[in-house]
Each structure stands twice: as C-alpha cells, then as structure tokens.
C-alpha cells in the first residue's frame, strides 16, 4: 500500500507528458524536496516507476495505480448503525 505522498506523487507524474523537476514536484504535491526524493525511492522499490536519482529526467511511470488497494469487506449502511 502506498502512503499519501507516494500516491499523490504517482498521480502527478502520470498526468504529465514530461518529468517535472524535484522542486516542481515538491510545489505541486505540497511537500518538501526530501519527502519527494523519499517517495520516488519508495515508488521505484515497489516497481511503480523506473527511476535513477542521477538521471531524474529519464523517469518512467510503469504502473500508475496500486496493485492491491484496500477494499472494505463489508460496508455499513447508515440505517444499520447502532
């Protein structure tokens, strides 16, 4: 499961036709640059992106969604609530 920063960053990367710079990603995501770098590493470790920190401009989105999203087993209807 992706954390909030990684999920947000993945959506930003997937919606662009170019690879934004780290500073631009930080501004668009509302995060610090160190958080963006950590999220990029996490996304690469989980095979969502191909990423080499030394070649940031060559970043590629491989999988733009989560493989196993958490789905509630049972939904509680408002009229069944105690």
The predicted structure's pLDDT at residue 73? 62
Return mean pLDDT, the chain.
Answer: 82
Residue 3's pLDDT band, with cuts at 50, 70 and 90, is: confident
Helices in 1-82 by DSSP H: which ranges? 4-15, 22-29, 33-45
Give dist(CA 15, CA 59) in Å, integer. Answer: 14
Query: What's the helix, strand, coil split of the chain in %, to 5?
Result: 50, 5, 45
> How many C-beta atoms surround the C-beta of residue 67 within 10 A?
10
Give dist(CA 58, CA 18) in Å, integer. Answer: 9
Q: What are the tens digits of pLDDT across the range 46-70?
A: 888 888 888 877 787 886 666 665 6
- Give the chain's domains with CATH numbers: 4-61 (1.10.10.10)
In the predicted model, what is the mean pLDDT of residues 10-39? 92
């Amino acid at each position: 499961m992706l954390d909030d920063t990684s999920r947000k960053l993945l959506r930003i990367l997937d919606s662009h036709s170019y690879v934004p710079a780290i500073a631009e990603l930080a501004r668009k995501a509302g995060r610090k640059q160190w958080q963006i770098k950590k999220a990029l590493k996490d996304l690469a470790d989980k095979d969502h992106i191909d990423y080499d920190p030394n070649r940031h401009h060559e970043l590629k989105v491989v999988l733009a969604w989560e493989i196993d999203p958490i789905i509630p087993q049972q939904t509680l209807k408002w009229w069944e609530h105690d």
